[in-house]
Amino acid sequence: MSMGFLLFEVRRITRARKFWVVAFLFPTLMYLMQANLFSGEIAEKTGVDFSSYLLGSLAAFGALFVALNVGTRVAFERSSGWQRQLRLTPLTATSYLVAKLTTAMVVALPAITVVALTGFALEGVRLPVLGWLHLVLGVWAGTLPFALLGVFIGQIASAETVQVLTTVSHMLLGVLGGALFPSVAFPQWMQVVSAVMPSRWLAEIGHSAFGGGQTALAAAILAGWTVLLGGAVAWRYVRDSARV
Partner 1 sequence: MNAYPRPNGESMNEAIGRLPAAVSVSGLHRSYGDVRAVRGVDLEIAPGEVVALLGPNGAGKSTLVDTILGLSRPDAGEVRVFGYSPREAITRGVVGATLQDGALLEDVSIRELLTMTASLHRAPLPIADVLRRTGLTDIADRRGKLSGGQRQRLRLAVTLVSDPSLLVLDEPTVAMDVESRNVFWASMREFTSAGRTVLFASHYLDEAEEFADRVVLLRAGVIIADGTVAEIRSVVAGRSLSATVPGVTLDRLRGLPGVVAAELRGQRAELVCADSDATARALFARFPEAHDVEIGAVGLEQAFLALTTDSATDSAADRAAVGTTESEAA
Region near partner 1 per CB under 8 A, out of 11-19, 47-55, 175-183, 226-234: 11-19
The verdict on 239 binding partner 1 (CB under 8 A) reads no
- The nearest distance, CB 240 to partner 1, in angstroms, is 13
The verdict on 8 binding partner 1 (CB under 8 A) reads yes
Cβ within 8 Å of residue 78, ≥6 positions away: 154, 159
- The nearest distance, CB 92 to partner 1, in angstroms, is 9
How many CA within 13 A on the CB side of residue 26? 19
CB of 71 closer than 8 Å to CB of 154: yes
- Interface pattern 16-35 for partner 1 (x via CB under 8 A): x-------------------
The verdict on 126 binding partner 1 (CB under 8 A) reads no
The verdict on 98 binding partner 1 (CB under 8 A) reads no
Binds partner 1 (CB under 8 A): choice among 121, 130, 216, 244: 244
The verdict on 40 binding partner 1 (CB under 8 A) reads no
- The nearest distance, CB 85 to partner 1, in angstroms, is 5
- The nearest distance, CB 88 to partner 1, in angstroms, is 5
By CB atoms closer than 10 A (0-12, 13-18, 19+), residue 65 is: buried
CB of 200 closer than 8 Å to CB of 206: no
For residue 20, how many other CB atoms are within 10 A of its CB? 17
The verdict on 130 binding partner 1 (CB under 8 A) reads no
CB of 69 closer than 8 Å to CB of 166: yes
Instruction: Pick out residues in 179-238 that bind partner 1 (CB under 8 A).
Output: none
The verdict on 2 binding partner 1 (CB under 8 A) reads yes
- The nearest distance, CB 9 to partner 1, in angstroms, is 9
The verdict on 241 binding partner 1 (CB under 8 A) reads no
For residue 86, how many other CB atoms are within 10 A of its CB? 16
CB nearer to partner 1: pick between 4 and 128: 4
- Interface pattern 64-83 for partner 1 (x via CB under 8 A): ----------------xxx-
The count of residues interacting with partner 1 (CB under 8 A) is 20
Instruction: Name the residues that contact partner 1, by CB under 8 A.
Output: 2-5, 8, 11-12, 15-16, 80-82, 84-85, 87-91, 244
